[in-house]
A and B are shown apart, each in its own frame.
Chain A
Amino acid sequence: MSADTRRQKAERIRHLLDTEGDAVHENTQVFNEGRYESTANLDDYDELKNEARAIKEDAIERLPELVDQVTEAVEANGGSVYVADDAADANRYIEEVVDGRDVVKSKSMTSEEIEVNESLEARDGDVWETDLAEFVLQVADEAPSHIVAPAIHKSREEIAALFNEVFDPEEPLETAEELTRFAREYLGEKILDAEVGMTGANFVTADTGTLALVTSEGNARKCVQATDTHVAVAGVEKLVPSVEDLQPFVELIGRSGTGQDITSYISLFTPPSDSPTFGGNELESGDDREFHLVLIDNGRMEMREDDQLRETLYCIRCSACANSCANFQHVGGHAFGGETYSGGIATGWEAGVHGEDSAAEFNDLCTGCSRCVNQCPVNIDIPWINTVVRDRINRGEDGDFDFLVEGLTPDEEPGGVDLQKRLFGNFDTLAKLGSAFAPLSNWAARTGPARSLLERTLGVDSRRELPEFERESLVEWFEKRGPHVGRDEARRQVALYPDAYTNYVRTERGKAAVRVLEALDIRVDVPPAGESGRAPLSQGMVSTAQSNADAVYDALAPAIAAGHDVVVIEPSDLAMFHREYERLLPEDDYAALHEQSYELMEYVYGLLENGGDIDVLPGGDDERIAYHSHCQQRTLDLEPYTVAVLEDCGFDVTTSDVECCGMAGSFGYKSEYYELSVDVGETLVDEFTTEDTADRTVVASGTSCLEQLDALLTRRPAHPVRLLDTQ
């Protein structure tokens, strides 16, 4: 990426932060908090998710069979099914059915995907969006910015201004209620006049040909009831085997999307409907109503054959991934989307239906924080899909190889990988060099010319402070010092994993970890294991990540074989061991490392629970602490251990509840994303500068979080283990 491209990208993000950021932030927060609350009320949330996942896996596996089955069912009911290869094919068929008549539509992203409105309008028919958000966008001539709430980026004031200008009502519209009434009446007339009703379908049951539509407004029902012809447009992946299979989805979709236990209407239509239709002035028999189900392939059958993209087809378009994404919350779907889809899973959709170029536009905005992972009602590993697509995009780039950087980058990637990605993906090598030449390297890197060169050639933002490398690495320190607990008196033996940051930059937290573990009678070793692969993985450099993973496993294998525990300080590395290594290591190696590895404070908690003497640790004496857990640590549900240990030691702890600090490894260093990173970070800062938190000592588990807090707060934050260290 050139410096100019970076600048343009930064400008576009800044513009969206200024114009749409506030509305998106406010509205996604409501959905996001609603989801946490509503899903917490489900006794069997995980069970429902597993059930939903299993249904989708089975349906996609048997998709060709289900297409045949639904065709039979719909035809037996008196309707037609058309399987369209692509957008053009679908539009051709729909145009024939519509035949120039007026159409009223309810919201459907699949119909956005094929751009059916443009196709029909070119044939002189009127097409009206009756979903109020879609109507706003139609009037404003804008694209959706969210898959569930397409006009989420618009404030009430903006909508009022738009309506007042376009419709010029006698009394200017102002309140949400006035705007809603106006749109309802305006669209009511369109519904009355139209002869064709078009809907999407959230699910289609193969056994009965039933469409399930999840809505709140009632417009989809009106579009079907008031018209003589119903055209439903759905991706082939919307098929589920039977009506009974709808149950887990109905319980999950509203909660996952907007945080409602259930939306106002779940309509199960088995068309053609015999409900009376609108004639001139009277209700007339609906017995002659026509029904056309248009099932769209448009790349989906190929996605089904693709081992990495297949999971995308399990998506039920609830938007939980977008709503739980810190970056999305700040910048919205106009930055975070391709031709049609926006938000977390959109990379998978865009790569599958529109190709990698469309996905490339926003793929880098996923920082891999993994907050979406537990929010997905069908357990899709969305960050992994984003990583794979990033890797494919990298491989598709033309070579721009620079031998200066090659020297620093002993990786497994093809020459085309962007220099900036290559730099951050090889952080371990960089840190090793930085440490070997410290303090000279720190001084040199900080000079004006060096910073400007870094910014120009590699896109490292000069406003961001660089990490300061320690001359003596944690591993070297430990080699000299040796363990302080003898084998005979040790309760357990531990390999403390020296992640690249702890090893070369934040050695103090590594040393504190060693001392705290030793105070609890643990014999500690610090084996020289390299970087976990998190750094290259986050740049989409999957082969490099894989070779790093192999090297880390080899370094830890003796400890694992001896039955020692592996203790990890950096949560993103523990997340590698527990999540991504499943895809990078041989099955048995992954299982062994997963089984035996723990986050540092989780481990301390376990020691204290199992007879460890808490009195050897310094007492908190009611010291007031503001703790920011790490996003990946929270995904693994490890935050409670740190809080419990600190509270048991006598600290008064409050925690942040933002999804992510916004620094996200290399993300916050990149000049094109620096401002977004800071904007996200400010939300965390707001939580830590309230009346209750402003004077609290700040602790955070992740390196990135510490860097972000350090940059944005006046108080210097530390890793929580340092509160337990006697030195």
Chain B
Amino acid sequence: MSAEAIATFESSLDEIGVELVRTTADEFASTLSPLLDAPTVGTSLPFETVSLPDSVDTDPSIADLEAAATGVTAAGYGIADYGSVIIQGGTDGEEPVSLYADEHVAVVAASDVLPDMDATFDQLAEDIRNGVGQSIIATGPSATADMGSLVTGAHGPMDVTVVLLEDK
């Protein structure tokens, strides 16, 4: 993915109050650690030579999910124009892990950052036809204005951080 698209992604994320943390496969572990508030839950990452530290609970109970401060999952894609990450996957529990913790840390490969919605929907249509049952285009934290003013963490995370694997 071009440096330009990554720069757009970063500024779009900035506009919605999401921090982008750049790293590489080698430095992933040391970059991730300070971003995790315990207790932490997660699902295994699909990137070669990249894995979650042992402190992350990858087989949480419902109570663990509800108590988690941080949930770490991979994101299938990012969308540069909107600062969105796309949560895909199924049986490993990407959906509950990304949804119940106070903060969601989404790990995305630079090569998976798509420029815009047109490109995104071409990709998602292909994925759905190949059997991907769930793609959540998530943009910033959950939010509601229903109680009189804007509050984040309505039913989902109140903070989102994106970790970008620049060499993936």
Residues of A whose CB lies within 8 Å of any CB of B are: 27, 30, 130-133, 136, 149, 151, 155-157, 159, 176-177, 179-181, 183-184, 187-188, 192, 208, 210, 216-219, 221-222, 225-226, 242-244, 246-247, 250-251, 258, 261-276, 278-279, 281-283, 285-287
Dominant secondary structure of chain B at its interface with chain A? mixed
Please tell me if the beta carbons of A243 and B124 are within 8 angstroms of each other in the complex.
yes
Dominant secondary structure of chain A at its interface with chain B? mixed
**Residue of chain A at shortest CB distance from B126:** A243
A-B contact count (CB 8 A): 175
Tell me the B106-140 residues at the A interface (CB within 8 Å).
Answer: 117-118, 120-122, 124-125, 128-129, 132-140
Residues of B within 8 A of A132 (CB): 144, 146-147, 154
Please tell me if the beta carbons of B62 and A216 are within 8 angstroms of each other in the complex.
no
The segment out of B3-11, B31-39, B46-54, B90-98 that lies at the interface is B90-98
Please tell me if the beta carbons of A187 and B155 are within 8 angstroms of each other in the complex.
yes
Question: Which residue of B91, B96, B124, B140 contacts A264 across the interface (Cβ within 8 Å)?
Answer: B140
Whether B29 sits at the interface, judged by CB under 8 Å, is no
- Count of chain B residues with a beta carbon within 8 Å of a chain A beta carbon: 49
Please tell me if the beta carbons of B154 and A218 are within 8 angstroms of each other in the complex.
yes
Residues of A within 8 A of B151 (CB): 176-177, 180
Please tell me if the beta carbons of B133 and A271 are within 8 angstroms of each other in the complex.
yes
Please tell me if the beta carbons of B155 and A244 are within 8 angstroms of each other in the complex.
no
Please tell me if the beta carbons of B139 and A264 are within 8 angstroms of each other in the complex.
yes
For the complex formed, measure the closest distance between the CB of B161 and the CB atoms of chain A, giving whole angstroms: 15
Given contacts A159-B148, A184-B154, A244-B121, contact A217 B142 (CB under 8 A): yes
Please tell me if the beta carbons of A264 and B128 are within 8 angstroms of each other in the complex.
no
Given contacts A218-B155, A221-B95, A243-B121, contact A282 B61 (CB under 8 A): yes
A192 to B66, CA, bound (A): 11
Please tell me if the beta carbons of B147 and A225 are within 8 angstroms of each other in the complex.
no
Question: Which residue of B134, B140, B141, B155 contacts A222 across the interface (Cβ within 8 Å)?
Answer: B155
A263 to B136, CA, bound (A): 11
A210 to B131, CA, bound (A): 11
Residues of A within 8 A of B135 (CB): 267-268
Residues of B within 8 A of A242 (CB): 125
A132 to B152, CA, bound (A): 13
Please tell me if the beta carbons of A225 and B99 are within 8 angstroms of each other in the complex.
yes
Task: Report, nearest first, the 4 A-B pairs whose CB atoms are least far apart.
Answer: A156-B148, A218-B156, A243-B125, A218-B155
A217 to B144, CA, bound (A): 6
Please tell me if the beta carbons of A273 and B134 are within 8 angstroms of each other in the complex.
yes
Tell me the B38-85 residues at the A interface (CB within 8 Å).
Answer: 60-63, 65-66, 82, 84
**Residue of chain A at shortest CB distance from B133:** A270
Question: Which residue of B90, B138, B149 contacts A275 across the interface (Cβ within 8 Å)?
Answer: B90
Whether B1 sits at the interface, judged by CB under 8 Å, is no
Please tell me if the beta carbons of B84 and A262 are within 8 angstroms of each other in the complex.
yes
For the complex formed, measure the closest distance between the CB of A51 and the CB atoms of chain B, giving whole angstroms: 11
Question: Which residue of B82, B99, B120, B149 contacts A176 across the interface (Cβ within 8 Å)?
Answer: B149
Between B139, B140, B144, B154, the greatest number of chain A beta carbons within 10 A of the residue's beta carbon is seen for B144
Question: Which residue of A225, A263, A274 contacts B96 across the interface (Cβ within 8 Å)?
Answer: A225
A210 to B129, CA, bound (A): 10
For the complex formed, measure the closest distance between the CB of B112 and the CB atoms of chain A, giving whole angstroms: 17
A272 to B144, CA, bound (A): 27
A188 to B138, CA, bound (A): 20
**Residue of chain B at shortest CB distance from A151:** B146
For the complex formed, measure the closest distance between the CB of B133 and the CB atoms of chain A, giving whole angstroms: 5
Please tell me if the beta carbons of A274 and B147 are within 8 angstroms of each other in the complex.
no
Please tell me if the beta carbons of A273 and B90 are within 8 angstroms of each other in the complex.
yes
For the complex formed, measure the closest distance between the CB of A201 and the CB atoms of chain B, giving whole angstroms: 14
For the complex formed, measure the closest distance between the CB of A140 and the CB atoms of chain B, giving whole angstroms: 13
Please tell me if the beta carbons of B139 and A179 are within 8 angstroms of each other in the complex.
no
Residues of A within 8 A of B147 (CB): 132, 136, 156, 159, 176-177, 179-180, 183
Residues of B within 8 A of A155 (CB): 148
Residues of B within 8 A of A184 (CB): 153-155
Given contacts A159-B147, A264-B143, A275-B134, contact A180 B91 (CB under 8 A): no
Between A181, A243, A258, the greatest number of chain B beta carbons within 10 A of the residue's beta carbon is seen for A243
Please tell me if the beta carbons of B128 and A268 are within 8 angstroms of each other in the complex.
yes
A272 to B134, CA, bound (A): 10
Given contacts A222-B155, A247-B118, A269-B134, contact A275 B93 (CB under 8 A): yes
Residues of B within 8 A of A274 (CB): 90-91, 133
Question: Which residue of A183, A216, A266 contacts B142 across the interface (Cβ within 8 Å)?
Answer: A216
Residues of A within 8 A of B141 (CB): 264
